[in-house]
């Protein structure tokens, strides 16, 4: 299959590397300096540990990247999804498209599938979300990983999952796009919360409680938005949540660790070198939860720490002071 990967950050580079052994891959990034560096060094500055295979081509424009593509993968931060999907639509090519970003669009409080639908318009080719518990470095190194490809077009999801599936990257398919997207987005907020707990030295019991209650929050919101309950027990719910809340490669967990250690948010973000989607997503999740009347106390506490000047320790104390209630 001929694949166009639009976005050459850590995740875009990792997917290009992973798929290059089985498909023809063309990689594009909007940053001309980064494109030139990739051509010269064959190494992404976001993923310097694993070089691009010789077979990965670099394109200067979106139109060039997708000219012969049978499938487009948009692998930008959520904030860049609309612009990139619009650029695909502007080429006039009707080509199937997947997105691999995780979050809500800040300007519109929209999920990625809503952004893509608006950008591509009526009559577009099949589209879907590619998500799951996956650190870019491990995927690039060929370590075993499992993802879910979700699309309202089930035959497209099934056939594309089979085409992308290989021995080191298992790809399952599903039709619950909303559930997959909500799980992918909100787990980043919960990773900030567990990082704060770990940064404060509150122990493994506290971490387990936050992960478990975080899953309950994610599920409540996802079901209220139209997702299926069982989705949140799978790879893009529980699986992605566990990985992001406990793995040392998690950017969002690192944000929480820094906040728990008393560092200002600006300092923490400046040291990352990558986008931490959970910071931008937290406010959008809080807004959507309030509009739907969904109780999300962990999300609310994270927002208070990120944007309202509440200390990490005070946020934890507020959560602990909540009245007991049934576990559901």
Which amino acids are annotated catalytic? 187
C-alpha 29 chain-centroid distance:
18
Cβ atoms within 10 Å of 77's Cβ, excluding its own: 17
**Cα dist. 78→172, 264, 275, 328 in Å?**
22, 24, 10, 31
For the record, the structure tokens of 280 come out as 């931008």
Residue 153: name the closest of 181, 195, 133, 125 by CA: 125
Q: Which residue has tokens 């694949």?
A: 3
Name the strand (E) or helix (H) holding 150. strand 145-150
Q: Are 140 and 110 in contact (CB under 8 A)?
A: no
- E strands within 43-144? 57-59, 71-74, 97-99, 127-131
Q: What does the alpha-carbon distance between residue 205 and residue 16 come to, in Å, rounded to a whole number?
A: 38
Cα separation, 50 vs 80, in Å, equals 24
SS3 label, residue 3: strand
CA distances in angstroms from 129 to 38, 71, 121, listed in the order given: 26, 13, 17
Residue by residue, DSSP assigns 12-49 as HHHHHHHHHTTSEEEEE-S-HHHHHHHHHHS-BTTBTT
Locate tokens 């409080």: which residue?
109
């Amino acid at each position: 299959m001929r694949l166009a990967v639009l976005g050459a950050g850590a995740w875009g580079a990792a997917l290009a590397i992973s798929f290059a052994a089985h498909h023809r891959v063309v990689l594009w990034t909007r940053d001309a300096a980064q494109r030139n560096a990739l051509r010269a060094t064959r190494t992404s500055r976001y993923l310097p540990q694993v070089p691009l295979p010789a077979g990965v081509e670099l394109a200067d424009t979106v139109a060039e990247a997708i000219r012969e593509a049978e499938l487009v993968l948009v692998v930008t931060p959520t904030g860049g999804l609309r612009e990139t999907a619009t650029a695909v639509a502007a080429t006039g090519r009707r080509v199937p498209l997947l997105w691999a970003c995780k979050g809500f669009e800040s300007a519109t409080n929209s999920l990625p599938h809503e952004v893509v639908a608006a950008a591509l318009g009526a009559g577009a080719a099949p589209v879907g979300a590619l998500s799951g518990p996956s650190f870019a470095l491990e995927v690039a190194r060929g370590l075993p990983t499992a993802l879910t490809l979700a699309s309202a077009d089930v035959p497209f999801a099934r056939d594309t999952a089979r085409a992308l599936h290989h021995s080191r990257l298992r790809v399952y398919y599903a039709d619950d796009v909303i559930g997959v997207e909500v799980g992918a987005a909100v787990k980043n907020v919960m990773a900030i919360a567990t990082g704060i707990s770990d940064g404060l030295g509150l122990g493994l019991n506290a971490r387990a409680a936050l992960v478990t209650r975080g899953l309950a929050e994610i599920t409540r919101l996802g079901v209220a938005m139209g997702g299926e309950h069982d989705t949140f027990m799978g790879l893009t719910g529980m699986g992605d949540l566990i990985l992001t809340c406990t793995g040392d490669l998690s950017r969002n967990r690192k944000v929480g660790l820094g906040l728990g250690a008393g560092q200002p948010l600006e300092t923490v973000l400046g040291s990352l070198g990558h986008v931490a989607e959970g910071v931008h997503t937290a406010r959008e999740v809080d807004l959507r939860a309030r509009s739907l009347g969904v109780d999300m106390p962990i999300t609310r506490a994270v927002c208070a720490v990120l944007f309202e000047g509440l200390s990490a320790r005070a946020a934890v104390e507020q959560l602990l002071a909540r009245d007991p209630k049934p576990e559901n």
